[in-house]
Amino acid sequence: MKSTESSPSAHVLKKSQPEEFDLVILGGGTGSTVAAWTFAGEGKRVAVVDRKYIGGSCPNIACLPSKNIIHSAKVVDYFRRSKEFGIAHDGFTIEMSGVRDRKRKMVVGLNEMYMENYRKTGAEFILGTGRFVAPRTVEVALLDGTIRQLRGTNVIVSTGTRASLEAIPGLAEAHPLTHIEALELGQVPEHLLVIGGGYVGVELSHAMRRFGSKVTVIDRNGRLMSKEDPDVCEALRSLLADEGIDILLNARIKQVSGKCGDSVSVVVEQNGIEKVLKGSHVLVATGRNPNTEGLGLELTGVELTDRGYIKVNERLQTSAPGVWAIGEVAGSPQFTHISIDDFRVVHANLTGGNRVTTGRQVPYCLFTDPELARIGLSETEAEAQGIAYRLFKVPMETNLRARTLSETRGFVKALVEAHSDRILGFTAFGVGAGETLAAVQIAMIAGLPYTALRDAVLTHPTLVEGLIPLFSSAASAHNVVETRGAQISAA
């Protein structure tokens, strides 16, 4: 035990003599992790500070754990459909603790792999709570009660976001689930009330329903995943409805009472009529808030946006010299692959290059079953921007590989520029949508015309081969385009 006499002097010494680093990273997410390994591998002295998670949210409480549990839900679906595949069984039970433990085992393995990479590269990972105390200087309160000060030639802030909790009467007192607690459930909820019909709400609703929970989704918008094209929103609504999920749209929550995990009541107003929904659990999935409070940013000259995100330029520089921000806290699209690209932007700009975030592709995949994946323009976006396009669209049942899998639900569609063969966007709602998306995205990166995919010799039978019938189908023309005020085409 340290004496009361030695601790203060050591504390003062730490404060007066900060440890010097080439790069200090506040927040240990995926972009930060790759940054640490890369810069350290190039001979830089690097320190990463995170309050709790090795590798940040993605491998611990978000992307990978959720996909792990969603895959378990897919296995449940296969059990339920076993007769379709000629396999007889006498029933089965869901052991949610086993589902959770499989996920936990994966997380432990990922943590071990990440720490081994830290050791190999020489980057230092520090568990503790960090905040700025001076320009480019971070004070870290360690778990053992001691304090370190780190000063970087450059500092990257990557503290991410957290689930937002709206100021609904009784909601906070009900101790609702966020995605973090939902992925740690040891029992299947009897009746899960889900507030929010976006990414998290739709994915977890689908998984929990397959585990056997009664599920009700409540969303204030008129469609699930309301920013997507109407046909996509309807396809998702139909999917959830067909699996027995109740969906309340255009619904406002007035009040919540009870305690999550015991009994919860939610007062909802829909079309001017109030109704009371009762469930065992409530999950909040209504958006994210940036983790910028308590970081001491005001001591560094780092400015925030009106929504609390760190203000950055296209090179991801903040308003403070030598301080950069990446990932969700910088207002970047909330995907792990974007945080990695943010790292690439900063890396280039710190090593003599000139890379920016503007104009980059932002692909995404919603891991329902089947998946929804999109890259580039949607029809809604093209029409809003007055861009003329040809639409190619075919049902998934045209994909022969999908037929062999008995997974023919959904469709694929592509937007091609009206006056050239350039691919503007691609959307797939079907089995393997995320993997198929990558083939189209690579073609878009290379600037290939859609005919390159149409005329390609692709392995048979594969899901990607389905791009051939897609781009061989008849296209329909859409939109009115105006150039210098002159109408040149119309649907």
Model confidence pLDDT, tens digit, residues 461-485: 999 999 999 999 999 999 844 433 3
Residue with tokens 């149409």: 454
Arithmetic mean of pLDDT, 13-42: 91
DSSP calls for 195-233 = E--SHHHHHHHHHHHHHT-EEEEE-SSSSTTTTS-HHHH
CA dist 94 and 149 (Å) reads 49
Percent of the chain with pLDDT over 90: 93
Closest C-alpha among 197, 280, 286, 285 to residue 245: 197
| CB contact burial 273-297 (16+ within 10 A = b; e otherwise) | eeeebebbbbbbbbeeebbbeebbb
pLDDT at 486 over 90: no
Q: Across the chain, what does the average pLDDT equal?
A: 94
Q: Give the confidence band of 44 by pLDDT, cuts at 50, 70, 90.
A: very high
Q: Give the confidence band of 76 by pLDDT, cuts at 50, 70, 90.
A: very high
Number of H helices, E strands in the chain: 14, 23
Measure CA 19 to chain center.
35
Arithmetic mean of pLDDT, 405-433: 98
The Cβ of residue 214 has, within 10 Å, a number of other Cβ atoms equal to 17
Arithmetic mean of pLDDT, 82-110: 96
Arithmetic mean of pLDDT, 171-193: 98
Arithmetic mean of pLDDT, 309-314: 98
Arithmetic mean of pLDDT, 49-68: 97
| Higher pLDDT pick, 488 / 349 | 349
Identify the pLDDT of residue 89: 87
Residue with tokens 């929550």: 253
Model confidence pLDDT, tens digit, residues 340-353: 999 999 999 999 99
Residue with tokens 């046909």: 231
Pair 110, 55: CB distance under 8 Å? yes
The Cβ of residue 28 has, within 10 Å, a number of other Cβ atoms equal to 27
Model-level pTM? 0.93
What are the contacts of 441-445 at 24+ separation with CB within 8 A?
A: 441/361, 441/363, 441/375, 444/361, 444/375, 444/376, 445/361
Pair 65, 42: CB distance under 8 Å? no
pLDDT at 7 over 90: no
Arithmetic mean of pLDDT, 47-60: 97
pLDDT at 16 over 80: no
Name the residue type at position 168.
I
Q: Give the confidence band of 14 by pLDDT, cuts at 50, 70, 90.
A: very low
**Angle in degrees, CA 441, 443, 445, rounded to 5:** 70
Model confidence pLDDT, tens digit, residues 229-266: 999 999 999 999 999 999 999 999 999 999 999 999 99
Identify the pLDDT of residue 20: 98
pLDDT at 35 over 80: yes
Question: DSSP character for 178?
Answer: -
Percent of the chain with pLDDT over 70: 94
**Angle in degrees, CA 52, 343, 28, rounded to 5:** 5
Arithmetic mean of pLDDT, 160-175: 97
CA dist 292 and 39 (Å) reads 25
pLDDT at 380 over 70: yes
